[in-house]
């Protein structure tokens, strides 16, 4: 058998006719709270249902595109449809008293200013910056804090390119929601490619760079070139992996198939792979329904042909995927498509958590029931994991030790790497939904990492 040298796998531009067999929507068209009445299928809902959506869309970010509306949502199953719940605001997402106040303003035709004022007041109750993200993780380069970056765990730096600060649609449960409600002070962003590269050149322990956002895949390919080409130079050899955190495979798979610069993007990624980089696309999938269209299948195929490894992660969310069978089907199909299941997260303590959160005991139950039904190749998904201030904490199990019912926990990632993989125990609490609800087991007064974490926080607030 002869093995021929493989040329670029990204050879053929898709003709429009080919593309139309994959999707009806090749032109990106988006609706926000202001174009709300233009969304055709919403007319199937009752006036009361539409009003509820409108009220909440004046508080939480709302943005949805035509592909999601036409090809991902099953409108016969609305309001229970998981992708509808993922993208359209629901009444239960804000407190009843806040809902009533906003509804009153809208009913009496209050002006924009009054509405915005009340919205900002409500935002203040919704814990806009969970886990101390803004206070504790900002790297410093040449004496200056680098605002658009986070360096929390030794190996991995997060970068928030300024051109990637929106998403193709917004998730209703987003933990970065505060960036999208117009308060620019709350935004992480950086234009500065040079500062990113300069910082990384001096950090030999960093093996992974993670592009995040918003969604960095809203960026045009020419911006990607600017950020990524320098990784082909020897000074950045230690950065082995470039991760891209994105929900574009759900919300706009056209990015990899029919967009004008789709082929250029794939060629760029392929070039980095051929140079020896690992390009990891960290895909956010909440439900198998997001992975069924011909266009997403084609996008996955093209990324894999370019040598990109796709890993999948998502939070466990009430009203969307609170069901082991949903995870079983999702993980199985991911493995079949060549995608590696990576993390199941616990919904964070922010934004519309009142609507989406689940007790930690339930998250463990869903994870365990799901993982028991899949092959070892899908058991690469770790979790349920809380991305909290001190680190990523996984609920490993619920058991009884010397008559006391406990949660068994471990750090998957820690601010101090030495915390990782040391089992620790919390008193079982059927209502706890986050790390700060948990108390140490066996009568101890604190968890093993608490003093050190307090020291790291310095004068700052201690945040879980």
Ligand X SMILES: *Cc1c(COP(=O)(O)O)cnc(C)c1O
Q: Can you tell me which of 86, 102, 119, 158 binds ligand X, judged by CB under 6 A?
A: 158
Give the orientation angle of helix 221-228 with respect to helix 262-275, to 10 degrees. Answer: 20
Contact positions with ligand X (CB under 6 A) in 195-214:
210
**Nearer of residues 152 and 329 to ligand X, judged by Cβ:** 152
Nearer to ligand X among residue 153 and residue 407 (C-beta): 153
Q: Is 159 in the site for ligand X (CB under 6 A)?
A: no
396 binds ligand X (CB under 6 A): no
Residue 371 touches ligand X, criterion: CB under 6 A: no
- Write down the least CB distance from residue 322 to ligand X, Å: 22
Please give the size of the binding site for ligand X, defined by CB under 6 A: 10
As measured in angstroms, the least distance from the Cβ of 90 to ligand X is 27
Indicate which single residue of 14, 63, 152, 287 sits in contact with ligand X (rule: CB under 6 A). Answer: 152
- Answer yes or no whether residue 387 interacts with ligand X by CB under 6 A: yes
Site for ligand X in 402-441 (CB under 6 A): 412-413
| Residue from 134, 156, 240, 373 in contact with ligand X (CB under 6 A) | 156
Among 150, 163, 321, 363, binds ligand X (CB under 6 A): 150
**Which one, 150 or 246, has the nearer CB to ligand X?**
150
In the complex, least distance from residue 339 CB atom to ligand X, rounded to whole angstroms: 16
153 binds ligand X (CB under 6 A): yes
Kindly state the smallest distance separating residue 135's Cβ from ligand X, in Å. 13
Stretch of 39-47, 140-148, 150-158, 285-293 lying at the interface with ligand X (CB under 6 A)? 150-158
The contact set with ligand X (CB under 6 A) reads 150, 152-153, 156, 158, 210, 387, 392, 412-413
């Amino acid at each position: 058998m002869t093995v021929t040298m493989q040329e670029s796998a990204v050879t053929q531009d898709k003709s429009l006719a080919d593309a139309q067999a994959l999707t009806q929507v090749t032109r990106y068209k988006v609706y926000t709270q202001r174009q709300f009445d233009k969304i055709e299928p919403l007319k199937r809902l009752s006036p009361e249902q539409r009003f509820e959506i409108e009220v909440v869309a004046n508080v939480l970010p709302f943005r949805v595109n035509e592909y999601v509306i036409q090809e991902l949502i099953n409108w016969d199953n609305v309001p229970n449809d998981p992708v509808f719940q993922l993208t359209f605001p629901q009444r239960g997402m804000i407190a009843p008293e806040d809902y009533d106040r906003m509804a009153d303003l809208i009913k009496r035709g209050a002006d924009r200013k009054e509405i915005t004022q009340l919205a900002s007041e409500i935002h203040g109750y919704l814990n806009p910056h969970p886990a101390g993200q803004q206070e504790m993780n900002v790297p410093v380069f040449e004496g200056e804090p680098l605002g658009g970056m986070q360096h929390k765990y030794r190996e991995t730096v997060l970068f928030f390119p300024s051109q990637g600060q929106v998403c193709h649609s917004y998730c209703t449960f987003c933990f970065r929601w505060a960036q999208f409600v117009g308060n620019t002070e709350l935004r992480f962003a950086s234009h500065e490619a040079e500062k990113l590269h300069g910082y990384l050149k001096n950090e030999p322990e960093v093996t992974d760079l993670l592009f995040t956002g918003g969604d960095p895949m809203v960026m045009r390919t020419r911006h990607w070139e600017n950020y990524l080409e320098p990784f082909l130079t020897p000074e950045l050899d230690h950065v082995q992996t470039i991760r891209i955190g994105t929900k574009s495979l759900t919300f706009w798979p056209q990015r990899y198939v029919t967009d004008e610069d789709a082929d250029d993007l794939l060629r760029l990624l392929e070039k980095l792979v051929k140079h020896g980089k690992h390009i990891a696309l960290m895909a956010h999938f909440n439900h198998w329904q997001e992975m069924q269209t011909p266009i997403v299948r084609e996008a996955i195929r093209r990324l894999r042909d370019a040598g990109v490894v796709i890993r999948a992660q998502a939070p466990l969310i009430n009203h969307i995927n609170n069901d082991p069978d949903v995870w079983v089907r999702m993980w199985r199909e991911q493995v079949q498509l060549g995608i590696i299941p990576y993390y199941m997260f616990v919904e964070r303590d922010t934004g519309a958590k009142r609507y989406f959160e689940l007790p930690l005991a339930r998250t463990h139950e869903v994870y365990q029931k799901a993982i028991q039904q899949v092959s070892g190749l899908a058991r690469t998904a770790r979790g349920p994991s809380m991305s909290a201030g001190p680190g990523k904490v996984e609920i490993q199990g619920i058991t009884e030790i010397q008559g006391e019912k406990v949660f068994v926990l471990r750090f998957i990632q820690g601010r101090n790497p030495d915390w990782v993989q040391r089992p620790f125990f919390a008193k079982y609490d059927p209502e706890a939904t986050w790390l700060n609800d948990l108390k140490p087991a066996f009568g101890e007064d604190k968890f093993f990492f608490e003093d050190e974490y307090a020291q790291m926080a310095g004068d700052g607030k201690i945040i879980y």
